[in-house]
Amino acid sequence: MKKKKAGSAVIKKRDPRKDWDLYLFLLLPMIYIIVFKYLPMGGLVVAFKNYKVRQGIWGSDWVGIDQFVRFFESYMFKDIMVNTFVLSFYSILVSFPIPVIFALTINSVQNKRFKKVTQTIVNMPHFISTVVLVGVLMMIFHNRQGIYGNIVHMITGEYPADLFASPEAFRHFYVWSAVWQNFGWDSIIYTAALSSVDPSYHEAAQMDGASRFKRVIHVDLPTIIPTIVTMLILKMGHVLTLGFEKIFLMQNPLNISASQVVSTYVYEMGIAGDGAGNFSYATAIGMFNNVIQFILVVIVNKISKKVSETSLW
Amino acid sequence: MKTSTKIKNKQDRWFYLFCYAVVTILTLLVLYPVIYIVSASFSNSDLVAQGKVWLWPVKPTLQAYEIILKRPQIWNGYKNTIIYTVAGTLLNVAITLLCAYPMARKNLRGRGAIMFIFSFTMMFSGGMIPNYILVRDLGIMNTRWAVILPGAMSVYNMIVCRTFIENNIPDEMLEAAQIDGCSNTQFFLRMVLPLSKAIIAVLTLWYGVAHWNSYFNAFLYLRDQDLYPLQIFLKEILIQSEQLGGEDIVDADNVSTIYVTLKYCIIVVSSAPLFCVYPFVQKHFQKGVMVGSVKG
């Protein structure tokens, strides 16, 4: 994060001819970024066309904003936007505070070995692949062969209904499996910030008779507030970029009413099965999402600049 | 006075107890599924399906492993994943360093503008379909390039790397080297690279894990089974419940449940390499997070 410095020193730039080799270094990264990042941005023109593979991007007919209008008027529009927002905000609401609380808790643990071992364990799931995570979820919560099914069977004598057929359960699965996978990893940044707390504050508070819990609230927490704000900005900035990969794997025809979000719909319209002729339509949907996302990043950044002087650029 | 500190201590004791309890419970919640998966993969499949396995393997058997390890798809997937991981990571680290070093040079003319060109891509992108059209128009669809090239550099990782170089290689060092007639390239090769070992380790691990675990590019751009990485096979078997086939499965007397343990087994087989190295390298991962948090 860049902290805005009032009147930061002006650095004298060098004669670019002396740095010709540095520009040469940048050549390859530049080519990469132009070809694989900026060309696709240019490719967004297909959203305003009726793209036909044979005619190519430039040969296809212009249709203006027809593709966007088609999406807004489609009966899926409302559901998709609601799903995208609900899933995004549910996700942030749950997965943001838990790492903070965990960091404060583990920071109060004094046994160093215990701390180290537990941290190693809780960070581990971060490295599990999305495919494996969803696979494990589906097996453990299988209504007959999984732990879940067998526990319910043991208690009630009957096997429960299939949770993966339930749109309601989909949201909880999506959010809580992410918490399981990432709460430890996400807390690293806070534990790092907490390790910089000046012990003399704690000593002073102790002298005044503050309990350990009070010191967590009044000494530890304020220290990590800047980190919390920064992380929140980052999260908010990406609120609508729901991971396609995981949702796509968890999606099935029975939970589609809760699991169809913008990115999966783009895939379905543009690439999967019968949608193969719908490149333009799918691009328009994706672009609509990206533009909203972009505006959101800019707004969040503006606000945070005003409020906390912490900003992303 | 004395009683009041005693009360405080008592309060504190409850608080500490609470902290230990919370951390212990969360750790067990993370650990339990992992242990269960490994145990189930070594157990008799009928008993796993009936819920007789809770923590340790019951009627231990290697049946699932014998079946899985005999499948050529698995070995082929392993081979492809290793190719993508090694080649992809090498390319990633090289390009990231090439980009990060000039960007760490504060006196480089045009630095701000170039940085903007890179960081803008973190905020806005063409999206799935334009990328798909691009890969197709480049003619790399259904080749290994389609898996490796689109993610050749992560701008976020580049910024982390740049920050590391800025913070660890003082300007004075460059000035001294330049007085001695050292060129930028020489300085990069002889000073920056050796002093950046820590960040190179971090980048290698981050990129490596990402390659090992990714399925998305392969899923979108590959049609040819021979090119599939392991994760695609995992997806087919775990998520789509595709059948592996083969006489050893059909002939097994637990043929109706064998897929349960096969699934657990394939998870263990595919994730084992990562988890064998994880305890030794996790320090580096965490270091990377902290470098990144300083700025950027």
DSSP annotation of B40 reads H
Report whether B244 contacts B262 (CB < 8 A).
yes
Which tens digits make up the pLDDT trace of A55-67? 777 777 888 888 8
Which tens digits make up the pLDDT trace of B40-54? 888 877 777 777 778
B290/B263 same-domain check: yes
B90/B150 same-domain check: yes
- For residue A40, being part of any structural domain is answered with no
Asked if B8 is an interface residue toward chain A (Cβ–Cβ < 8 A), one would say yes
Give the residue ranges of DSSP H helices in chain B.
2-41, 45-49, 63-69, 72-104, 111-123, 128-137, 145-148, 155-168, 171-179, 184-187, 193-195, 197-213, 216-221, 230-234, 247-250, 258-294
| Burial status of residue B295 (CB atoms within 10 A of its CB: 0-12, 13-18, 19 or more) | middle
pLDDT band per the 50, 70, 90 thresholds, residue A306: confident
Tell me what pLDDT residue A273 has.
Answer: 63
Cβ-Cβ contacts under 8 Å, A19 against chain B: 102, 105, 108-109, 184
- For residue B231, being part of any structural domain is answered with no
| Burial status of residue B72 (CB atoms within 10 A of its CB: 0-12, 13-18, 19 or more) | exposed
- For residue B236, being part of any structural domain is answered with no
Backbone angle region of B93, left / alpha / beta, with phi > 0 → left and psi within -120 to 50 → alpha: alpha
Q: How far apart are the first and last CA of chain B?
A: 50
Closest CB to B278 among A40, A118, A127: A127
Closest CB to B114 among A12, A26, A145: A26
Alpha-carbon gap, residue A177 to A175, rounded angstroms:
6
Asked if B240 is an interface residue toward chain A (Cβ–Cβ < 8 A), one would say no
Which tens digits make up the pLDDT trace of B74-93? 889 999 999 999 999 999 99
Domain residues for B146? 72-226
Domain residues for A99? 2-12+65-311
Token pair belonging to A37: 């990042």
Average pLDDT over residues A109-133: 89
- For residue A18, being part of any structural domain is answered with no
B163/B76 same-domain check: yes
Q: Look at residue A313 and tell me whether its pLDDT is greater than 70.
A: no
Q: Which residue of A has its CA nearest to B9?
A: A211
A47, containing H or E segment: none
Query: Taking CB atoms and an 8 Å limit, are A25 and B31 in contact across chains?
Result: no
Tell me what pLDDT residue A35 has.
Answer: 94
B35/B125 same-domain check: no
Closest CB to A150 among B51, B105, B216: B51
- For residue A138, being part of any structural domain is answered with yes
Cβ-Cβ contacts under 8 Å, B215 against chain A: 129-131, 245
Which tens digits make up the pLDDT trace of B15-28? 888 889 999 999 99
Question: Best interface-test mutation with A: which of B129, B157, B233, B274 has the largest number of A CBs within 10 A?
Answer: B129
Which tens digits make up the pLDDT trace of B154-201? 998 898 899 888 888 888 888 888 888 888 888 999 888 998 888 898
CATH number at residue B191: 1.10.3720.10
CATH number at residue A150: 1.10.3720.10
Which tens digits make up the pLDDT trace of B212-256? 999 989 998 998 889 999 999 889 888 887 777 666 766 666 667
CA distance B96 to chain A (A): 8
Q: How many domains does chain B have?
A: 2
| Strand pairing class (A2-3; A310-311) | antiparallel
B155/B249 same-domain check: no
B217/B272 same-domain check: no
pLDDT band per the 50, 70, 90 thresholds, residue B63: confident
Query: Taking CB atoms and an 8 Å limit, are A192 and B119 in contact across chains?
Result: no
pLDDT band per the 50, 70, 90 thresholds, residue B145: very high
Query: Taking CB atoms and an 8 Å limit, are A43 and B130 in contact across chains?
Result: yes
- Average pLDDT of chain A is 84
| Burial status of residue A304 (CB atoms within 10 A of its CB: 0-12, 13-18, 19 or more) | buried
Report whether A106 contacts A118 (CB < 8 A).
yes
Tell me what pLDDT residue A218 has.
Answer: 83
Last residue of a domain, one of B195, B226, B257: B226
Which tens digits make up the pLDDT trace of A202-218? 888 888 878 888 888 88
B80/B219 same-domain check: yes
Query: Taking CB atoms and an 8 Å limit, are A138 and B260 in contact across chains?
Result: no
Tell me what pLDDT residue B8 has.
Answer: 58
B186/B85 same-domain check: yes
Tell me what pLDDT residue A2 has.
Answer: 45
- For residue B53, being part of any structural domain is answered with yes
Asked if B286 is an interface residue toward chain A (Cβ–Cβ < 8 A), one would say yes
Which tens digits make up the pLDDT trace of A82-109? 998 898 889 889 989 999 999 999 988 8
B79/B172 same-domain check: yes
Q: How many domains does chain A have?
A: 1
B13/B118 same-domain check: no
B16/B44 same-domain check: yes
Query: Taking CB atoms and an 8 Å limit, are A121 and B31 in contact across chains?
Result: yes
Cβ-Cβ contacts under 8 Å, B161 against chain A: none
Distances in Å between the alpha carbon of B216 and those of A125, A171, A217, A251, B221? 19, 22, 43, 15, 9
CA distance A6 to chain B (A): 17
Alpha-carbon gap, residue B221 to B24, rounded angstroms:
43
Token pair belonging to B86: 């090694």
Token pair belonging to B263: 């699934």
Average pLDDT over residues A276-297: 85
Alpha-carbon gap, residue A63 to A55, rounded angstroms:
15
Alpha-carbon gap, residue A20 to B130, rounded angstroms:
34
B84/B212 same-domain check: yes
- For residue B123, being part of any structural domain is answered with yes
Asked if B156 is an interface residue toward chain A (Cβ–Cβ < 8 A), one would say no
Q: What is the ipTM of this complex?
A: 0.86
Query: Taking CB atoms and an 8 Å limit, are B128 and A28 in contact across chains?
Result: no
Query: Taking CB atoms and an 8 Å limit, are A189 and B105 in contact across chains?
Result: no
Query: Taking CB atoms and an 8 Å limit, are A154 and B51 in contact across chains?
Result: yes
Report whether B36 contacts B263 (CB < 8 A).
no
Report whether B203 contacts B161 (CB < 8 A).
yes
